[in-house]
Every structure is written in C-alpha cells, then in structure tokens.
Structure 1
Amino acid sequence: MRIDAHHHLWDLTRRDQPWMDGPWADPIRRSYAPADLVPHLAAHRIAGTVLVQSSASYRETVELLAVAAGDGPVRGVVGWADLTAAGLPDALAALPAGLVGLRHQVQDEPDPDWLARPAVRRGLRTLADRGLVYDLLVTPRELPAAQAAVRALPELSFVLDHAAKPAVAHGGWQPWADALTALATLPNVTCKLSGLVTEADWSAWRPPQILPYARHALDVFGPDRVMFGSDWPVCTLAAGYGDVVALAEAATDHLTAPERAAVFGGTATRVYGLATGPSPGRD
C-alpha cells in the first residue's frame, strides 16, 4: 500500500497560517480540503496519507482528527500540542483516536537548542509514554540539538521531516551531509523523503540538483528508515504533486522492489502504526 506520509490541509476561514508571512505564499494562500488532494492520490496509486499540522494550534489538531475520522485517505494525524505544558498528558488524553504523533515548528524558534530545554524533554518523554511519534521540523542549524534529543530519548521514535531542509538552492552540502549521517547512526529516528523541491530554486530546479540530497538520505538511513512524503500543497510552490512523486521514484530507482515498497509505504506504516485496512472512518 502506497502512503503519502506528509501533507497538509488548512482552512483559512477558521485561522490564519502565520508562516505565510509574505507574497511568496500567495500561490497557496487559500483553503485546502481532502477533495483537493484525493485526485492526486488516485492518479499515483496512493491509498493512504499522514496529515501533518501546519500551525501551533491544539484546536487545529482536533479539526484534523475529525478529518481523519471521516471516509477518506487520512490514516493518521501528526498534530500539535504544547510540549512544555504541565497539562500535556491530559491534553493528549482528551484527543480522539487517530493521533500518531506531534510536531512543533522548531525551525522557527530563535533558540537553536530549543529541543534541549528541560520542559521540552519532559514533553517528549510524555509522547514516548503514550506510544506517539515526534516529527522533527528542523534545519541544519538545529540538527545538533535534534541529534542530542534523539540520543537522550531512545524510547521515543523520531521522524525527521524534509531531510532537515538542506540548502539545495545554493548547492550547500556541508555541514548538512555529515550531520545527517551522524543522526542516522541513531536507530530511533527515520527520515522523510519530502520537502526538497521547495529548498531548491522554485522556478529553475531540475532533478539532478535534488537527487544527490535524496540519495544521501537513502544511503545513510537505508530504505527501511525512509518514507515518502509529498509536502502538498506547500510543494506546489515549486512543483506539482506528480513531479514530486516522479522525483522520489527517480531517487529510488536503484533499489529493489521491497526497498521501494518500504519507502513508499512500509516505513510509514510501521513507524506511525497506521492501519492497513480501510480508513478508520469507514464501516
């Protein structure tokens, strides 16, 4: 079963998306619903998805879980809750079924060592106790703190979003490549093959500029610890859904069939504990 392990939905009539902080975001400055995504999934034989938070809003998480409960492709939600709050256990307990993990926009924190804060580590331990996953949204700047957190919490499963956002547009390789290799030595972290097109030149990128980054992630993590994600609709700033799928297929064309199956569904299903039958909302 092919899985898109990373996409977003948002409703701008309910709340703004603060990260859309300039004209650069105008092409995606509208609401996105499941009906907008489903035709893309059908065209590329993708049977299920992981829906990921886009704003630091507990209410948004509740709304995304309602989407997951419906008759649609969403098989799990990576939501948001305040990791530093003393009431985090109660907040998680109050959420309906479908939550597979949490994420915070660590890349937007002024402190590159935000993940090292005692209150954050306490929250991460709560996720481990609940059997949830933590998605790391970091850039190369925050990779050292991410590696320290992953090492300090071997009981927690981490997923690195967008391969830590290397500087593809500028051809930047180090220190990203060595930091990713070091992170991959820790067995409790996996990596999403996602988000790379928007780290490239949006109007001029070509596959040969991006493929070395994707293949480095595959080399250091191995296919059984890499999962495909479209990052739709953010990806449409630089590429169509089909272009992103084709890029991932090109990056994995040297793998065996079982290895490609891991990248395109098996890893996500295992790490997030996704249902392999009908989606939760179906009878």
Structure 2
Amino acid sequence: MIVDTHLHLIDRKALRYPWLKGVPALDCDFSHDEYATEARRAGIEAALHMEVDVDPADIAAETAHVEALSKRPGSLIAGAIVSCRPEEPGFPAWLDAVKANPFVKGFRRVLHVVPDDLSEDVLFRENVKRIAGSGLTFDLCVLPHQMKQAMALVDLAPDVQFVLDHCGVPDIKAGAEHPWREQIAEMARRPNVVGKISGVVAYADAGTWTAETLRPYVEHTIRAFGWDRVVWGGDWPVCTLGGGLLAWVAATHALLSGASEEERRKLLSGNARRLWRMG
C-alpha cells in the first residue's frame, strides 16, 4: 500500500488560486472524492495534502478547508503540508500558532514563482531556521537553476528537515540530465534533505513517455539519497498533464521491479509514515 505525500485539491468556490488562469488544463475543481476513486484503485491508503499556492489571504482558510475534508468518513487525507511566507515579519507568531495543530505536518513556500533571491533574504532564512525542533518539514519546490540557493538555505538551517519536491524538477521532455544529475548528487550529500519521487510525469512528453523515459531521473534520485531518504508523491491533479495518477503508479511499480520488498516499502509508505509521524 502507498502513502501519497503530494496531493493537491482545488475548490474554486471555497478558495482563490490566482495562478490557475495561466494553466487552463488545471483551472477547474479537483475534489477529494474524484481523487479517492483513482487512489484506492492504485493502492493508496493515505495522503498528505500539499498546499496549492492559494491567494495569500486564503492560506489559513485552505488549511481549515482541507482539515474539514479529512474528518469526513472515508477520507484519505492524513495531514497537510501548508503554505507559509517566511519572508514576512509575522512568520514567528504564525508558526507558533500553527505548530499547535497536529494536522499540520510541514510547510512549503513555492520558490519557482518568486524572484530567485527570495530565499537569500536574511528574514526568510531566519524564519525558516525557526522550524527546527518542531518536528515539521519544509518542502523545497525549486527549478534546476535555483538549486544553488536551495542548497545554501539547507546549509544555513541544518536542524530543519527539508524535502526536495519532484526529483528536483528535471527537464525530462528535453532529455536534459546535466547539470541536474550533479545538482541532485550534491543536494543529497546534505543529511537533512529527503528526496520526493513525484511530479516527473508532468515534465515528460505526455504523448510518448514510458517508464524507461522516467528511469534515469527516478533511479538517480533514489541512488543519490538512498532508500531511507526518499518518499513518493502522486502530484494529483498536476500528474493529469502527463497521463494521470494510475499511469504514474503503474510506472512507479515498473521502475521498482528490481528493488527488494523492504526498499519498496520504504519508498512507498514507510519513510513517509516515519518522517511525518503518521503511525
């Protein structure tokens, strides 16, 4: 069974998502019930909701909305990685309040939609360091050219547990492996970073990719981080841009055909349950 560490839900009646206007294929509602139908068929038994870069005024509302969904009978949602703004002076007080909610498992600030130097800001870095000791994680969602800044942030907050989203966002469609391979290897040398095997189907050619297309990127990420420091994510509904959740799960199993049962367990569920204290 699988723990999906990267689920997005979109409800435009409840929340505002300014960025959706630029991605017509995703500019519609994606509900828990729709996800759960596919997820159960794929063997997914629990999921962590990943913030969807809502309007900043809706950050708290997004957390409350998803937590309410998690309490419905049959919900697969086991927690949330919530949106945050470490660049703002109010972050410490916000962090203290959010830490009291056990539903919150970690934080993310999408960095590829802001200036590259945002994470180099002194206030940003000091606020991220405040997460240390909380048991909560910080997801890094960066483009390959931003990996230098991401590694600097990790180095300045050695007591914070980071998660690198989407295998570092390689350009699979272009077949680009360099300098991505070197960047992943360098990031993986930092013990406070976990690699997330997610998102890659959206970066491949939707009409032609196969498991073998994805193999160099997935295998290199796993090899670099090791089986104890990787987790799996569905990235639904973004994965629908590259074939959908069931196709991604099937490809994952094909890519893991040579792994041991224990290695598969670690990637697909065990590491996530340990990292996010999911029981």
Q: TM-score, normalised by structure 2?
A: 0.92
Query: How far is 1:73 from its partner?
Result: 1.1
Please list the CA deviations of residues 73-110 of structure 1 after superposition, one character each: whole Å capped at 9, or x if unmatched: 11110011221222223223434430011111101112
Segment drifting more, 2-11 vs 248-257 = 248-257
For the Cα contact (< 8 Å) 2:202–2:241, is it kept in 1? yes
- Equivalent AA in structure 2 for residue 27 of structure 1: A
SS at match of 2:231: strand
Query: How far is 1:70 from its partner?
Result: 3.7
2-structure distance, mates of 1:18, 1:176: 30
Please list the CA deviations of residues 206-238 of structure 1 after superposition, one character each: whole Å capped at 9, or x if unmatched: 222211101100110112111111100110011
2-structure distance, mates of 1:2, 1:86: 38
Q: Could you tell me which of 40, 43, 46 is aligned with 2:44?
A: 46
Q: Which runs of 5+ in 1 are unaligned?
A: 277-283
SS at match of 1:89: helix
Aligned pairs for 1:91-130 (under 5 A) are: 91-95=94-98, 96-110=101-115, 112-130=116-134
Query: How far is 1:6 from its partner?
Result: 0.7
Query: How far is 1:260 from its partner?
Result: 0.4
For the Cα contact (< 8 Å) 1:226–1:267, is it kept in 2? yes
Q: Which residue of 1 aligns with 2:196?
A: 192
- For CA contacts below 8 A with separation 6 or more, give which structure has more relative contact order: 1
Q: Which residue of 2 aligns with 1:279?
A: none
For the Cα contact (< 8 Å) 2:80–2:104, is it kept in 1? yes
SS at match of 2:29: coil
For the Cα contact (< 8 Å) 2:81–2:104, is it kept in 1? yes
1-structure distance, mates of 2:78, 2:3: 9
Matched, 1:257 2:245: no
Against the structure 1 CA distance between its residues 270 and 89, is the aligned structure 2 distance closer, same or farther, given a 3 Å change threshold?
Answer: same
Q: Which residue of 1 aligns with 2:87?
A: 84
Q: Could you tell me which of 233, 236, 245 is aligned with 2:240?
A: 236
1-structure distance, mates of 2:103, 2:218: 29
- Equivalent AA in structure 2 for residue 60 of structure 1: E
RMSD over aligned Cα atoms:
1.6
1-structure distance, mates of 2:262, 2:41: 22
Matched, 1:161 2:165: yes
Against the structure 1 CA distance between its residues 60 and 120, is the aligned structure 2 distance closer, same or farther, given a 3 Å change threshold?
Answer: same
Tell me the percent identity.
29
Matched, 1:145 2:146: no
SS at match of 2:28: coil
Query: How far is 1:185 from its partner?
Result: 0.7
Q: How many residues of Structure 1 are paired with residues of Structure 2 in the alignment?
A: 272
Query: How far is 1:125 from its partner?
Result: 1.4
2-structure distance, mates of 1:66, 1:127: 25
Q: Could you tell me which of 219, 231, 235 is aligned with 1:227?
A: 231
Query: How far is 1:41 from its partner?
Result: 1.9
Q: Which residue of 2 aligns with 1:8?
A: 8
Q: TM-score, normalised by structure 1?
A: 0.91
SS at match of 2:163: strand
2-structure distance, mates of 1:8, 1:148: 28
Query: How far is 1:127 from its partner?
Result: 1.6
Against the structure 1 CA distance between its residues 273 and 235, is the aligned structure 2 distance closer, same or farther, given a 3 Å change threshold?
Answer: same
Aligned pairs for 1:52-67 (under 5 A) are: 52-56=50-54, 57=56, 58=59, 59-67=61-69
For the Cα contact (< 8 Å) 1:180–1:217, is it kept in 2? yes
Q: Which residue of 1 aligns with 2:139?
A: 135
Q: Which runs of 5+ in 2 are unaligned?
A: none
Query: How far is 1:142 from its partner?
Result: 0.9
Q: Which residue of 2 aligns with 1:272?
A: 276
Query: How far is 1:10 from its partner?
Result: 1.4
2-structure distance, mates of 1:16, 1:33: 15
Q: Which residue of 1 aligns with 2:17?
A: 17
Query: How far is 1:42 from its partner?
Result: 1.3
For the Cα contact (< 8 Å) 1:228–1:248, is it kept in 2? no
Segment drifting more, 176-185 vs 126-135 = 126-135
- Equivalent AA in structure 2 for residue 52 of structure 1: M
